[in-house]
A and B are shown apart, each in its own frame.
Chain A
């Protein structure tokens, strides 16, 4: 039975027409919807972290404009038979409302529909760009949806850099999957994820596949925790003789400092051919002081 038929059986033909229109309208509104895309990047960062830490790579789907009453973003956790729906609102007049086409009614119907089609766990979130509205909506949440609903604040801004500067939760989530916590690397990773999402959201819903395509992109700025490497003994010896020079290999990348003045990162993974070539160049040039080494570090 199609989802539209399920809706008609459950709520009648008028609700089914509204449900069908919601999909059409949603698709056109989706165009250029920066707010939804930025929020999706945050969800993807969280899901990528989950998958990276999960040995069995559970099957998770992410859908923009799903066939649903609460349809802006849907995340399906197949392993747990769970669904997480998100409705995003930037309007200053957003309210729960009542009756057909209201947010509260959409949330209520979505839960009933999910129960009917056998979803074990349903969470539904209203994402709102006004902190004051979030407080108000939390205080006035209708009783019939309170058990499965959340209200989330997510700011509306024009650029990813701005978002990273003002939204700590977003910054922390990106930081968990990025090889560095430097602001430039966080922004680069967030924008790479955004570009992937915008490019593939209409054709690819598997979060595993999205992560896999991202991992195969260069540069991708993702942390690689499963790489262990030792520097060539000769390179280690050279570095140890250069006064004021220190380095670390973390999350798959080599970064260095010279006194409190210079610092940098080799932009290739430490298990890459480029990094082997870098080590060979250090061994071959055999620098004795930082001035001789720094040209090789670039």
Chain B
């Protein structure tokens, strides 16, 4: 087992990564650690996104919305730019490396985004990120694509790049805190984020997390539909 930290990570970030990896961390503390990591990743993104008139889309999965993605969006709020949200419910089939989308929440402003930030608590096989990003680029033609995760597998960048033509992959900018190179038979990285994120966040399994509607989605949709 070996873990390499990126130059972006702070001591607080390392401490939050350790909270994720620790199997005794409660659901509440685990969620809080993801939120704090999101805030910190957002702070790094702020330094990378310069210039006025930027239109940002943050894209996430249902399980990452209320903590990791929320933290990033809150950090981005210091920029005076439009931030829209796309959230995906994926039905992952690990054996085939597919993750079809059974539901998506996509704010109208996503169509105008020139920067896409695709967020995931962990990127290993890159299957879910590939699926959701491919869905987005059918309708959006971003100038820059940030692929953001607290933890990635050592081969994740190579795998994700191979899923796209160079015209898309050349836009990728990876932002992460740690890279792990050990993968268990069940697909979980070691130390990764301490096992299966669904279960660590209190869901029973994939079906259970796919029945969940994040507060972030509910709140933002309520604002949109009340107009």
Contacts and interface: CB of A to CB of B under 8 A. Distances in A.
Interface stretch (B8-16, B73-81, B89-97, B113-121): B89-97
Nearest to B96: A191
B135 A183 contact: yes
B105 A262 contact: yes
Nearest to A263: B104
Interface stretch (B17-25, B185-193, B218-226): B218-226
Contacts of A259: 225
A291 interface: yes
B174 to A, nearest CB: 18
Among B89, B96, B218, max chain A CB count under 10 A is at B96
Contacts of A195: 95-96
Size class of the A contact interface (CB-based, 8 Å):
20 to 34
Interface stretch (A57-65, A101-109, A112-120, A156-164): A156-164
B49 interface: no
B96 A267 contact: no
A196 to B, nearest CB: 11
A261 B100 contact: no
A295 B211 contact: yes
A262 B134 contact: no
Given A195-B95, A262-B105, 19 more contacts: A159-B162, A161-B130, A161-B131, A161-B134, A161-B163, A161-B164, A165-B164, A165-B168, A166-B165, A182-B135, A187-B98, A187-B131, A192-B96, A221-B100, A244-B225, A261-B106, A263-B103, A263-B104, A266-B102
Interface in A245-298: 259-267, 291, 294-295, 297-298
Interface string A120-131: 000000000000
A184 interface: yes
B99 interface: yes
In order of increasing CB-CB distance, the 4 nearest A-B pairs are: A264-B103, A161-B163, A158-B162, A188-B98
A298 B138 contact: no
Interface residues of B, number: 34
B167 to A, nearest CB: 9
A265 B102 contact: yes
Contacts, number: 86
B213 A295 contact: yes
A254 to B, nearest CB: 12
5 contacts: A184-B131, A187-B134, A263-B104, A264-B104, A298-B210
A133 interface: no
B162 A183 contact: no
Contacts of B135: 182-184
A195 B94 CA distance: 13
Contact of B134 (A158, A165, A260, A298): A165
B213 A294 contact: yes
B99 A262 contact: no
A165 B130 CA distance: 12
B102 A298 contact: yes
A265 to B, nearest CB: 6
A264 B218 CA distance: 16
Contacts of A219: 100
B105 A183 contact: no
B58 to A, nearest CB: 15
A185 B134 CA distance: 11
A182 B101 CA distance: 9
Contacts of B101: 182, 184, 264
Interface string B38-70: 000000000000000000000000000000000
Contacts of A267: 91, 100, 102
A191 B95 CA distance: 10
B96 A262 contact: no
B107 interface: yes
B202 interface: no
Interface string B197-212: 0000000000000110
A62 to B, nearest CB: 21
